[in-house]
């Protein structure tokens, strides 16, 4: 369990704004609530942070698990406020509002801050019952959880181990495929992006991870960083493999990208691979507490621009070259704070970020190389242990 | 594509309330937005319904796909409102609000209804810009999408085909396991809930489906309808297998439960199986347009109570017997309208519902039998094609 959560910046905010509490009304898909409560449930539940503690309101079905699993100071079941009777008397909407108003009153809370995505239905309902509801606009909880505890870094590291196994599966499929009639072939059938994606997912499942999407993008597909790839893979083309699995138990993501080519992708593709690798190495060397994400991004842009390719810094309208940011935070969300982009602020020890420069052009294909690192006082620790190389190999990959 | 979506109940509501539009601000996880827009994206986007049409506001990255895929009358990219400049000048929060205010103004909208889960940050921001924001409390869109179009029924049927393949995988593992030292054994290793779950997931993946959770619960685990099950499976015990996959492409769920036992679970377990099956058959026979979900639920309760077991109807505090509702709607959400419970209203043609009575007791284990059906004018069509039987068999399962 993530025991070292420090909510003091949130409590400082509440004190400064003279608000009694911070209320979240959401379900497991909200990472802020999962982080603050140390709990996850398929159905909506409520988390209240006061100066005195963290308080959960859950259904009877979830009460037992919440009492043992959650990192909360108190857990209350809805039945404590006669929820079913309130719904029968006042309907589902008003019944829920009355239950919440009673829960807040129980904790001496007359005014709450809420996250930007707090349900308007709940906010307006509470206001009708005389509670003051203020939107906390800066995302304080999101900033708090950008700095990982040791326990969290261990969870992300475990997800990256699963990711390495999945990447090895993909690399081996590409390395061992036959080449026939201009496509990669396995067991006499075309080897497609979809085939490799399926084997990646199965490998991740066997390591306790799931994922919504994977990128296995060949040739021109790989030149669009948002294209998931489809159809037969081809020799002599760049193949971008980007995997971002989530541990089904802990909820922590990992992220890694490698680019491979069977056969000869050509001199220009090789050059782009080398430049991307240099940008990746230069960006990594820059990472340290106190450096800004913007500075790290600038270093990657310097390398790529010096090699003669466009970046969004040199040309905001370019559709080729380095057309995304250098990295992003990774944790309970796949994209979270901090940003390694022109808007990126100061890096802190415990920030977990991806470093993933790339160069894209439909005429050549895409190159992207991505590792996941945790920021330390004087640099970083790489959470990724996977060989970098354009030519795919089977086995012995480290 | 789901072309037959009928938003007229929403437009009637807007007209009656004298509101200019209905606004959703969410991402792919919101099924209402996915349904109304015919579009899904990992990042938030906005959908506006007016009397004139359905209008989308998306990022530049999503614009191309939205233009071709979405069932909207217009698609606008954020850049049309100088979003990046607004964020640079006013910050992320206020920048987004100003963009949305401009988008609404463009469509002549000065007042909007929003869903209950609409972000309070967005609602309060728009109000500060003089827009009227009213929460639509009844869930009109959720009611609209409870009635499935033919296209939707086809998608759910396809997910249930994948589900049948996964159930066959599970049944075969249980049927073909060896029995050694009081547990089921495969290849010399204990066959666990986790093993069966993994093979279910892999089968689903190969059929284009994913799932967050599966239930493979043996003995006392199966007596808690929310227990996912863990550890070695045992002979002479009831094993509940409940699978609810989602098609990764279409987003439509399926749902099915079977209960198996290797060896002899005992007379009482067999009796409970037979009673559950009778309750399932009686409930199914009751399903028809014009009948209420409450009536269907009552019929299941009648059978179970007549056999001498408790239900929540006969004893609201019981922790054994039939301790959940008879069914729920299934579609883009795994639990949606209509409800087949004491609160269940009138069934309509096109409602897709589960019928899943069960009987539970930690001393005996759990039994649940569940099919998925679509309501028709004079009855139902069963979307499930899977044998019902306590003894697991390998192959030839239909």
d(CA A385, CA A392): 16
For B65-109, what is each residue's pLDDT tens digit? 899 889 999 999 999 999 989 998 999 899 999 999 999 999 999
Chain A and chain B share a number of CB contacts under 8 A equal to 71
Answer yes or no: do B61 and A226 touch at CB < 8 A: yes
For B249-301, what is each residue's pLDDT tens digit? 999 999 999 999 999 999 999 999 999 999 999 999 999 999 999 999 999 99
Same domain for B202 and B340, yes or no, is: yes
- A387 within domain boundaries: no
Buried b (16+ CB within 10 A) or exposed e, A178-191: eeeeebbebeeebb
Same domain for B140 and B180, yes or no, is: no
- Of A367, A262, A258, nearest to A309 by C-alpha is A367
The last residue of a domain, from among B112, B145, B178: B145
- A396 within domain boundaries: no
Question: Quick check: B396 pLDDT over 60?
Answer: no
Q: Are A86 and B84 in contact (CB under 8 A)?
A: no
- B89 within domain boundaries: yes
Chain B residues with CB-CB distance to A199 below 8 A:
none
Question: Quick check: B196 pLDDT over 90?
Answer: yes
For residue B190, what pLDDT band results from cuts at 50, 70 and 90? Answer: very high
Q: What are phi and psi of A53, to 5 degrees?
A: 170, -170
d(CA B121, CA A139): 11
- A327 within domain boundaries: yes
ipTM of the complex model:
0.90
- Find the residue in B nearest to A133 (Cα): B120
Question: Quick check: B61 pLDDT over 90?
Answer: no
Same domain for B267 and B200, yes or no, is: yes
Of A114, A121, A212, the CB nearest to B117: A121
Q: Are B188 and B271 in contact (CB under 8 A)?
A: no
Give the orientation angle of helix A83-106 with respect to helix A120-128, to 10 degrees: 80
For B20-33, what is each residue's pLDDT tens digit? 999 999 987 899 99
d(CA B298, CA B284): 12
- Find the residue in B nearest to A30 (Cα): B29
- A394 within domain boundaries: no
Question: How many angstroms from the chain centroid is the CA of residue A316?
Answer: 25
End-to-end CA distance of chain B: 31
Instruction: Give the pLDDT score at A41.
Output: 84
Q: Which tokens sit at A67? A: 């009492």
The last residue of a domain, from among A145, A167, A187: A145
Instruction: Give the pLDDT score at B13.
Output: 98
Question: Quick check: B395 pLDDT over 80?
Answer: no
Same domain for B280 and B317, yes or no, is: yes
C-alpha dihedral over B340, B341, B347, B353, to 10 degrees?
Answer: -10
Counting residues of chain B whose pLDDT is more than 70, the rounded percentage is: 98
Chain A residues with CB-CB distance to B117 below 8 A:
119-121
B372, HSE (Cβ side, Cα atoms, 13 Å): 31
Interface of A with B (CB under 8 A): 29, 42, 61, 93, 114-124, 133, 135, 137, 198, 201-202, 205-206, 210, 212-213, 226, 248
Q: What are phi and psi of B66, to 5 degrees?
A: -65, -40
A22, HSE (Cβ side, Cα atoms, 13 Å): 27
Instruction: Give the pLDDT score at B321.
Output: 97
Instruction: Give the pLDDT score at B84.
Output: 86
For B201-212, what is each residue's pLDDT tens digit? 999 999 999 887
The last residue of a domain, from among A129, A145, A161: A145
List A361's β-bridge partners, or say none: A365
Question: How many angstroms from the chain centroid is the CA of residue B247?
Answer: 12
- Find the residue in B nearest to A342 (Cα): B88
Give the residue-averaged pLDDT of B158-173.
Answer: 98
Question: Quick check: B337 pLDDT over 80?
Answer: yes
* Tens digit of each residue's pLDDT, chain A (398 residues): 666 789 999 999 999 999 999 999 998 789 999 999 999 887 889 999 999 999 999 998 889 889 988 999 999 999 999 998 999 899 989 999 999 999 999 999 999 999 999 999 999 999 999 999 999 999 999 999 999 999 999 999 999 999 999 999 999 999 999 999 999 999 999 999 999 999 999 999 999 998 878 999 999 999 998 889 999 999 999 999 999 999 999 999 999 999 999 999 999 999 999 999 999 999 999 999 999 999 999 999 999 999 999 999 999 889 999 999 999 999 999 999 999 999 899 999 999 999 999 999 999 999 999 999 999 999 999 999 999 999 999 875 44
Instruction: Give the pLDDT score at B398.
Output: 43
Q: DSSP letter for B170, please.
A: H
Question: Quick check: B397 pLDDT over 60?
Answer: no
For B221-244, what is each residue's pLDDT tens digit? 999 988 899 999 999 999 999 999
Same domain for B131 and B188, yes or no, is: no
How many beta carbons lie within 10 A of that of residue A104, not counting itself?
Answer: 24
- Of B145, B66, B356, B124, nearest to A136 by C-alpha is B124
For residue B214, give the 3-state DSSP assignment.
strand
- B394 within domain boundaries: no
Same domain for A168 and A317, yes or no, is: yes
Sign of CA dihedral A78, B360, B168, B281: negative
Q: Which tokens sit at B234? A: 């045992």
Answer yes or no: do B119 and A124 touch at CB < 8 A: no
For residue B3, what pLDDT band results from cuts at 50, 70 and 90? Answer: low
Instruction: Give the pLDDT score at B163.
Output: 98
Same domain for A28 and A173, yes or no, is: no
> Distances from the Cα of A294 to the Cαs of A123, A282, A343, A346, B86, in angstroms?
36, 14, 6, 8, 20
Answer yes or no: do B212 and A212 touch at CB < 8 A: no
Answer yes or no: do B119 and A114 touch at CB < 8 A: no
Strand ranges across the sheet with B189-190: B178-180, B183-186, B189-190
Same domain for A134 and A153, yes or no, is: no
d(CA B297, CA A88): 18
Same domain for B237 and B355, yes or no, is: yes
- Find the residue in B nearest to A139 (Cα): B93
Instruction: Give the pLDDT score at A1.
Output: 63
- B123 within domain boundaries: yes
Query: Looking at CA atoms only, how far is residue A120 from chain B in angstroms?
Result: 4
Q: Are A240 and A368 in contact (CB under 8 A)?
A: yes
Residue pointed to by tokens 């199966």 = B222
User: Total structural domains in chain B?
Assistant: 2
Mean pLDDT of chain B: 95
Strands B111-114, B21-26: pairing kind: parallel
> Distances from the Cα of A347 to the Cαs of A225, A292, B140, B328, in angstroms?
25, 5, 46, 48
The CATH number linked to A111 is 3.40.350.10
Of A137, A205, A248, the CB nearest to B121: A137
- B302 within domain boundaries: yes
The CATH number linked to A194 is 3.90.230.10
Q: Are A205 and B198 in contact (CB under 8 A)?
A: yes
Of A116, A213, A226, the CB nearest to B121: A116
Same domain for A47 and A179, yes or no, is: no
Same domain for B17 and B123, yes or no, is: yes
Of A120, A212, A213, the CB nearest to B119: A120
Cβ burial of B168 (10 Å; 0-12, 13-18, 19+) is: buried
Which residue range forms the structural domain that includes residue B12? 8-145
How many beta carbons lie within 10 A of that of residue B377, not counting itself?
Answer: 9
Same domain for B137 and B188, yes or no, is: no
């Amino acid at each position: 369990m993530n025991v070292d959560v420090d909510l003091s910046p949130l409590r400082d905010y509440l004190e400064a704004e003279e608000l009694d509490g911070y209320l979240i009304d959401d379900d497991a898909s909200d990472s802020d609530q999962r982080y603050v409560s140390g709990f996850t449930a398929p159905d909506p539940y409520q988390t209240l942070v006061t100066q005195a503690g963290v308080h959960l309101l859950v259904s009877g079905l979830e009460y037992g698990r919440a009492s043992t699993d959650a990192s909360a100071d108190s857990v209350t079941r809805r039945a404590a406020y006669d929820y079913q009777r309130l719904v029968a008397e006042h309907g589902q909407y008003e019944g829920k509002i009355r239950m919440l108003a009673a829960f807040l009153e129980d904790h001496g809370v007359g005014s709450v801050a809420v996250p930007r995505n707090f349900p308007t239905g709940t906010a307006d309902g509470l206001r009708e019952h005389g509670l003051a509801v203020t939107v906390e606009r800066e995302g304080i909880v999101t900033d708090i959880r950008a700095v990982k505890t040791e326990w969290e870094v261990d969870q992300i590291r475990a997800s990256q181990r699963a990711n390495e196994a999945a990447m090895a599966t993909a690399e081996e499929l590409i390395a061992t495929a036959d080449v026939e009639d201009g496509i990669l072939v396995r067991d006499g059938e075309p080897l497609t992006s979809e085939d490799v994606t399926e084997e990646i997912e199965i490998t991740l499942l066997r390591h306790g991870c799931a994922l919504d999407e994977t990128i296995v993008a060949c040739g021109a597909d790989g030149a669009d960083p948002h294209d998931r790839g489809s159809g037969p893979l081809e020799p002599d083309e760049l193949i971008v493999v980007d995997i971002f699995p989530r541990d089904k138990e802990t909820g922590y993501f990992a992220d890694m990208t490698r680019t491979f080519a069977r056969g000869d992708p050509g001199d220009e593709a090789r050059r782009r691979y080398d430049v991307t690798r240099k940008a990746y190495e230069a960006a990594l060397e820059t990472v340290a507490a106190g450096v800004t994400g913007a500075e790290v991004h600038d270093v990657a842009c310097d390398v790529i621009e010096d090699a003669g390719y466009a970046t969004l810094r040199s040309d905001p309208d370019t559709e080729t070259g380095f057309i995304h940011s250098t990295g992003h935070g990774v944790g309970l969300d796949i994209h979270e704070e901090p940003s390694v982009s022109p808007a990126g602020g100061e890096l802190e020890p415990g920030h977990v970020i991806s470093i993933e420069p790339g160069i894209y052009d439909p005429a050549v294909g895409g190159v992207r190389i991505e590792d996941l690192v945790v920021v330390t006082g004087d640099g970083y620790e790489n959470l990724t242990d996977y060989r970098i190389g354009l030519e795919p190999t089977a086995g012995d990959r480290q």
